[in-house]
Amino acid sequence: MEMNNEFDLIVIGSGPAGEKAAVKAAYFNYRVAIIERDKRFGGAGIQTGTLPSKTLKETTLYLSGVYSKGIFGVDKELSRQAGIQDFMYRKNLVTHQAGNSVEANLRQHRVEIFKGHGEFLNAHQVRVTGHDREKILYGKYIIIATGSYPVHPSGIPFDGVRLHDSDSILSITRFPKSLCVLGAGVIGCEYATIFAAMGIKTYIVNNNNRILNFLDEEVSAALVAQMEKNGINVLFDNAITHFEVPANPEDDLLLTLKNGEVLAVDMFLFAAGRSGNTHNLKCENAGVQLDVRETVKVNHKFQTNVENIYAVGDVIGFPALASTSMDQGRIAVAHIFSTGDLKTLTHIFPYGIYTVPEVSMVGITEQQAKKENIDYNTGICHYRDTIRGKIMGDLDNGFLKLVFDKNSKQILGVHIIGIIATEIIHFGLALVKEKKTLDEVISTVFNFPTFHDLYKYAAYDGLGNLSGWKLRKPGEVIEAGHDQNV
């Protein structure tokens, strides 16, 4: 083994988890190598997952004028018909720039980069083949951060042209005339609302009677109502039993449903699952145990069953968020090298779903409070009942909901559906994490007019629920700032 191929740490994968792990170890003056098989850096988080879909959503909001119609008494009209190049332009630009930023960050911290496919020879050696000539690297410690990939169930004739997974849908060369999405998880709901906002007839086929089961039921129902208002047909308790792909590409795909109905659509998107990207790593050579869906089993330190090998990010499964993956990488390094800082992943973190409209939450739902026999109550404020909401225009049925302990008035959960929900949730994160009460929210001064008034008036609504004296009937619209001046 050449001395220049011996490292304190080898990281396999340059996504959010791998990048942060590599950079942190290098910051503490350890010799670090990172292996990336793709031409571009950043993994699925930057190239095919988090950033592309979120950028497409913002592009959709701009091109469709979803949140700007009617604000000034006129509807927004595009100066020309938006094409697929307009739709993909910003996504391509953002992913390119973000990938370059990852590479620059690695090089700035003197992480040694190896381009190619990595596979285990044993618990300390990794062979790299592909873009560079073959190399064998030795790592005292190794972190697996290879992410995940879309599942391809048998029976679905994926072709990357009309029948897509969540990766290939990002490379379409034309807008579909109509689209069927199978799966009502985060990815499926995001893409369904994005394409529907562009005026494309969209169907969602879901195998149970709810979407996004981890959400508060009231928020989930509100999102379904908004989807239907935007022209999405949600087919609950259903499945696709047969795919018929016509020889003529101009003819519709024929999708036979479990209930016997046949959907005729132009394109299809499968968005019902991802697997850990471990199938080509040869983990068995290192003795690393895998869990369900090819994910890697780890303990609270993100350590596998092999003492010197760790795993972080989507490759270990839930929660599979870019935000948590970054900290998982940092925590693994903290345990490997005893850096004495970040040792555990917080159990309180926000979820952001970039649908149209956005949904975000932190803490427990009303249903969890019931299940845990918590004596709770709720408070709600609608966007339309705030001055900022009136300035922004037609914000439909967006609202913020607080779940709180009835006796202490401590806030246990915050749930938001509406514009920039993923931004304004962070004040709610602080409330839940710091165990703040309704009274403390009410005594907080916010800039006026801003959407943070949602918190204050949801807190007032909660107090009204506690006292049994409602300031307004459910659904009644009263000028914000008038009824809540308690």
Q: What is the dihedral of CA 140, 145, 151, 152, to 10 degrees?
A: -70
363 or 397: which leads in pLDDT: 363
Confidence (pLDDT) at 395: 62
Q: At what angle do helices 16-27 and 322-337 cross, to 10 degrees?
A: 30
486 pLDDT exceeds 50? no
68-82, 225-239, 247-261 — which is least confidently predicted? 68-82
| Mean pLDDT of the region 387-415 | 90
Tell me the average pLDDT across 313-334: 94
Topology given in CATH for the domain delimited by 3-149+275-337? FAD/NAD(P)-binding domain (3.50.50)
Check whether the bond before 474 is cis (ω within 30° of 0).
Answer: no
pLDDT in tens, 242-301: 999 999 999 999 999 999 999 999 999 999 989 999 999 999 999 999 998 899 999 999
- Residue 414: pLDDT band (50, 70, 90) is very high
- Averaged pLDDT score across all residues of the chain: 90
- Above 90 in pLDDT, residue 10? yes
Mean pLDDT score, 9-28: 96
- pLDDT at residue 351 greater than cutoff 70: yes
- Where does 307-356 show beta strands of DSSP type E? 309-311, 351-353
Q: Which amino acid is at 116?
A: G
Both tokens of 196, joined, read: 């529907």
Tell me the sheet residues that pair with 196: none
Q: At 39, is the pLDDT very low, low, confident or very high (cuts 50, 70, 90)?
A: confident
pLDDT tens digits along 426-452: 999 999 999 999 999 999 999 999 999
Q: Is the pLDDT of residue 45 over 90?
A: no
* Count of CB atoms situated within 10 Å of the CB of 395: 19
Most confident range (mean pLDDT) of 64-73, 91-100, 190-199, 305-314 is 305-314
CB-based contacts of 145, cutoff 8 Å, min separation 6: 11, 12, 13, 14, 15, 17, 18, 21, 43, 311, 312, 313, 315, 325, 329
**pLDDT number for residue 74:** 46
Banded model confidence at residue 20, pLDDT cuts 50, 70, 90: very high
Q: Could you give the C-alpha distances from 438 to 151, 176, 350, in angstroms and in order?
A: 44, 47, 20
Q: What is the mean pLDDT of residues 462-485?
A: 59
Residue type, 348: I
Give the per-residue pLDDT at 405: 97
Give the CATH fold of the 357-467 domain: Enolase-like; domain 1 (3.30.390)
- Please report the pLDDT score of residue 68 as a whole number: 58
Residues ≥6 apart with Cβ < 8 Å to 316: 276, 295, 296, 297, 298, 302, 328
Among 65-74, 135-144, 206-215, 246-255, which is the least confidently predicted range? 65-74
Beta bridge partners, 377, equal 404
Query: Quick one: pLDDT at residue 468?
Result: 80
Indicate the helix (H) or strand (E) that contains 126.
strand 125-129
pLDDT at 37 over 50: yes
Most distant CA pair in the chain: distance in Å?
A: 77
- The residue ranking higher by pLDDT, 257 or 321, is 257
Domains 3-149+275-337 and 357-467 share a fold: no
The pLDDT of residue 482 is above 70:
no
- What class has domain 163-272? alpha beta
Q: Are 366 and 411 in contact (CB under 8 A)?
A: no
Work out the average pLDDT over 37-61. Answer: 84
171-196 mean pLDDT = 94
Pairing between β-strand 253-257 and β-strand 240-244 as defined by DSSP bridges: antiparallel
pLDDT of 63 over the 90 cut: no
Predicted local distance difference test score (pLDDT) of residue 476: 47
Q: Which pLDDT band holds residue 483 (cuts at 50, 70, 90)?
A: very low
Whole-number Å distance between alpha carbons of 202 and 114 = 42
% of the chain surpassing 70 pLDDT? 91
How far apart are alpha carbons 198 and 329 in whole angstroms?
37
pLDDT at 392: 82
Displacement of CA 110 from its chain's centroid (Å): 30
Q: Where are the domains of the chain?
A: 3-149+275-337, 163-272, 357-467
Cis before 357 (ω within 30): yes
If one counts every other C-beta atom within 10 angstroms of the C-beta of residue 171, the result is: 11
Q: Which residues pair with 378 in a beta bridge?
A: 403
pLDDT band at 82 (very low <50, low <70, confident <90, very high): low
As a whole number of angstroms, the distance between CA 8 and CA 3 comes to 12
pLDDT score for 94: 87
- Residue 169, classed as helix, strand or coil, is helix
pLDDT of residue 477: 40
Range in 33-42, 175-184, 360-369 the model is least confident about: 33-42
- Closest-CA residue to 239 (of 148, 151, 155): 155
Query: Which tokens is 359 given?
Result: 């949904």
